A and B are shown apart, each in its own frame.
Chain A
Amino acid sequence: MGSISDFVQYLVSSLSVGGLYALMALGLVIVYGISQLVNFAYGELIMVAGYGLLIFGRSWLPWVIVAIMSVICAVIVALGMDQIAFRPVRNASPTTMLITSFAVSTLLQSVALLLISPRPRAPRLPSIFVQSAEIAGIRVKVVDVVALVVSIVALTALQLFLRKTIVGLSLRAAADDFTMTRLVGVNANKVIATAFAISGLLAGIVALFWIGRIGQVLPTVGFQPVLIAFIASVVGGLSSIKGAVLGGYILGFLTIGLQTWLPQDVNAYRDAIMFAIVIVMLLVRPEGLIKPAFSRETR
């Protein structure tokens, strides 16, 4: 009995963590797929949504409204990033774009440091983040179940958006061959802005659960998620949406598994092992587990 219950707990937390990781990786990949930009500042979108929770949370508004407003903030900042910093360097080399995003990331972090506080702050959170429930005799955390459901809903919605709408179609086309897509009359700025908006939306959703899990927000809060997104998307495939999702779930199972079964002193090296895997993966299979539909010449 105990072992089955343990196993179900492991399954639920892995699936919920994996779902979140998949969303994080997707937010990175959806932009990279189109513009070859590895957005280092992606973690700062999570930070923005986190501070949204903190600031709006001080009002009398119900938490759901606060959460929605925070997600909207992340979307706005994502669009702003694209407009102000990334659009002018769009035709530069991927290296230049990466360095630009590094600067944007530092800028946003320092602004938070200056205007809010270097110290961690605890936003108002609803009680579901600490409750646990008993389903068929097995104890699970409520937040795990909610995260699991939300991530599946978000992934399905994104899939439907990409498959069934004109904008989604042009996004997928642009990810395959951006030049060709522009030649047939698709507005490049609009497509990339859409990708950034989706990226911001995903970061916002991730932020709700990430901040909920750690219970506090600080200027560097986005760093760990962006690292996770890096690992998941490199393992799964930097230009493949399916790959990002797969990479996210693999990483989720791996993280929880290592946490549960690895001895404590080896666990200290967990990040080192993960990033060593990233390097090996880039060397052995740079396109990731899942290749994009049309493989492009990388510049």
Chain B
Amino acid sequence: MRNAPTRSLVSKWSTPVILMGMCVLIAAFAIARDDAVFLRVVTVMFISVLLTVALQTFMGNSGLGSFGQYAFVAIGAYASLWFGLSDQQKRVTLPDMPITWWIYKQHYPFELAIASAAILTAIAGAAMGVAFVRLRAASFTIATFAFLIVVNRVALQWEEVTRGSRVVIGVPRQTTIWITVAWACAAILIAFVFKESSIGLKLRASREDEDAAASIGINVKLMRWIAWTLSCGMSAVGGALWAYFIVQFTPNNFYLHETFLIVAMLVIGGAASVSGAVVGAIAVALSSEMLRQTENWLNTQRNDGTSFGNLLPFQLIGFTEIVLAIVMIVVLVVRPSGLLSGRELRWPRGNSQPGVTDLAENIDEA
């Protein structure tokens, strides 16, 4: 075929288009249905898509497991309050913050506040990243986990910047479904471009064999650091959007349970591809919502005292987590590379000759 390279290029770049199209379709469907609960579920789902893609950018390409993502989600969420609220609002939301602080006078428009929070978090992530990228495998995961705990405990105590363990109040609900879907699409594009860039390729090479990658002159630590910093910034956007959607939260909303959920989404979908992250996030978010509704339905049946309800002698709590954990273990055992096995969703290429990019793809999928 004469235009094989073009076809292959089209096929390659069809991935982000397909993924973004999926997101927009779901958003349009949710808006058309105009059901408040469903709209809420889908909005939170897009934030999960964004966070899972952010985690994929680092974890999928580097092969290192991070349990520390939610530390940066938390920093992003609180930072978006510092940048996004006026001083009157800060008096209500963060009453312990001293008026003399520089940050007290900062009041940016919503989107700019999110971007500022992302930059601030990326700087914090970059600083921590210098240390983290020196670690390997299990040590890395434990260190990021330790950092999650450090941030959680500091946030719970440092009332000047977070209101401590008390619930944050008075945050305006500015996040809409269109804003989340736009950011989720942006994240998908960024993650895909990063994965296909030379940095991403080098990082993926180091994932397969760190020593071999280093031996051909790849600066593995630098590549990891870049991906880590990018991932921290993207995570912060997720935190900020979530903060302005849920509007009431404490530092404990950015902890183990949430970490487990995002890691589960990524692992179930398949960490090695952006499509895996997106599909995993959508599948887990929608199915756990269905499970939660089943759970609620069964519990109300029980309260009605109907014959069906009597089948269950107990209140169902944590049922969703159980199913999710079992699915995750089964996926890890039966299909360790996730539902998509590291492949990207793409427009069929036709029977073109394998080119250079295909070789790279094959290595990736092996």
Question: A residues near B, CB below 8 A?
Answer: 32, 36, 38, 84-85, 88-89, 92-96, 98-100, 102-104, 106-107, 109-111, 113-115, 118, 227, 230, 234, 238, 268-269, 271-272, 275-276, 278-279, 282-283, 286, 298-299
Asked if residues A279 and B146 are in contact (CB atoms below 8 Å), the reply is yes
Q: Which residue of B lies closest to A268 (CB)?
A: B157
Residues of B105-163 at the interface with A, using a CB-CB cut-off of 8 Å, are 131, 134-139, 141-143, 145-147, 149-150, 153-154, 157
Asked if residues A95 and B332 are in contact (CB atoms below 8 Å), the reply is no
Across the interface, A275 reaches (CB within 8 A) one of B134, B139, B147, B328, namely: B147
Across the interface, A276 reaches (CB within 8 A) one of B150, B314, B328, B336, namely: B150
Across the interface, B142 reaches (CB within 8 A) one of A38, A89, A118, namely: A38
Question: CB of B317 within 8 A of chain A?
Answer: yes
Question: CB of B54 within 8 A of chain A?
Answer: no
Whole-angstrom distance between the Cβ of B209 and the nearest chain A Cβ: 10
Q: Return chain A residues, CB-CB under 8 Å to B264.
A: 103
Q: A103-B325, A106-B325, A282-B142 are in contact. Are A114 and B149 (CB under 8 A)?
A: no
18 A-B pairs (CB sep. < 8 Å):
A88-B332, A95-B65, A98-B138, A100-B329, A103-B264, A103-B329, A106-B260, A107-B326, A110-B319, A113-B321, A230-B146, A269-B157, A272-B150, A272-B153, A279-B150, A282-B139, A282-B142, A283-B135
Asked if residues B138 and A238 are in contact (CB atoms below 8 Å), the reply is yes
Asked if residues A279 and B314 are in contact (CB atoms below 8 Å), the reply is no
Asked if residues B137 and A110 are in contact (CB atoms below 8 Å), the reply is no
Asked if residues A286 and B135 are in contact (CB atoms below 8 Å), the reply is yes
What is the number of residues of chain B that contact chain A, defined by CB distance less than 8 Å? 41
Question: CB of B36 within 8 A of chain A?
Answer: no
Whole-angstrom distance between the Cβ of A129 and the nearest chain B Cβ: 29
Asked if residues B332 and A103 are in contact (CB atoms below 8 Å), the reply is yes
1/0 contact string of B200-233 vs chain A (CB within 8 Å): 0000000000000000000000000000000000
Asked if residues A110 and B138 are in contact (CB atoms below 8 Å), the reply is no
1/0 contact string of B305-328 vs chain A (CB within 8 Å): 000000000101111011011101
Across the interface, A279 reaches (CB within 8 A) one of B131, B137, B138, B329, namely: B131
Q: Return chain B residues, CB-CB under 8 Å to A99.
A: 65, 263, 267, 328, 332
Question: CB of B37 within 8 A of chain A?
Answer: no
Whole-angstrom distance between the Cβ of B48 and the nearest chain A Cβ: 17
CA A275 to CA B68, docked complex, whole Å? 13
CA A286 to CA B319, docked complex, whole Å? 39
Q: Which 10 A-B pairs give the minimum distances between C-beta atoms?
A: A107-B325, A110-B318, A95-B65, A113-B318, A110-B321, A272-B153, A275-B146, A88-B333, A94-B137, A103-B328
Residues of B2-39 at the interface with A, using a CB-CB cut-off of 8 Å, are none
Q: A99-B65, A102-B260 are in contact. Are A278 and B318 (CB under 8 A)?
A: no
Asked if residues B321 and A106 are in contact (CB atoms below 8 Å), the reply is yes
Q: A93-B137, A99-B332, A275-B147 are in contact. Are A269 and B153 (CB under 8 A)?
A: yes
CA A92 to CA B316, docked complex, whole Å? 34
CA A93 to CA B141, docked complex, whole Å? 12
Asked if residues A104 and B329 are in contact (CB atoms below 8 Å), the reply is yes
Question: CB of B97 within 8 A of chain A?
Answer: no
Q: A99-B332, A271-B149, A298-B136 are in contact. Are A110 and B142 (CB under 8 A)?
A: no
Q: A38-B142, A99-B267, A282-B142 are in contact. Are A85 and B333 (CB under 8 A)?
A: yes
Q: A100-B329, A275-B150, A283-B131 are in contact. Are A36 and B138 (CB under 8 A)?
A: yes
CA A32 to CA B141, docked complex, whole Å? 14
